[in-house]
Amino acid sequence: MYRLLALLLLVLIVWLQYKLWQGEGSWTAEQELKVQVEEQRLANAKLKERNAALEAEVADLKSGETAVEERARSELGMVKPGETFYRVVEPADPKTDVRPEDVPEDAAHGCANAAVAGCGGAGAASPASSASSLPASPASSSPQASGK
């Protein structure tokens, strides 16, 4: 009889321990709920800050003309009578919109990479490169004057 009672108590203890650690309302489930509650509190705090900013913006829009004017200018592109509207448009690809004065001198003469030997850049130390860095005279640019 005592053995049966001891076995029954042991089964009851194991079942209660299982409920405590694994079942619904267990210690792990409680910890997960605490994490969720903290995440929700952080989200609520962010939303309260956002609401406060929106309330301030609404109050600003209701109180004065300045905010309405600023919004009309920035979002709707409106201008006052007598004003001149200028729009500065940046090129989509800066490589396609190159002005001649933006091109380096070596690149203007067909040299794609100034570091390549024979191109006239800092990496080239040949006599041809040092000669190409000198200004060309009209006599040396003709094939008859050079003897070629």
Q: pLDDT (tens digit, 0 to 9) for every residue of the chain, 148 residues total?
A: 889 889 999 999 888 887 777 777 778 888 889 999 999 999 999 999 999 999 998 888 788 788 788 888 888 888 888 888 787 888 777 666 667 676 666 654 555 544 445 554 444 444 444 444 444 444 444 444 444 4
Radius of gyration of the chain (CA): 40
Q: What is the pTM of this model?
A: 0.36
- Residue 71's pLDDT is 81
As a whole number of angstroms, the distance between CA 86 and CA 84 comes to 6
Q: With contact defined as beta carbons under 8 Å apart, do 40 and 47 qualify?
A: no
Burial zone of 73 (CB within 10 Å; 0-12 exposed, 13-18 middle, 19+ buried): middle
User: Considering Cα of 54, then 56, then 59, then 64, what sign does the dihedral take?
Assistant: negative
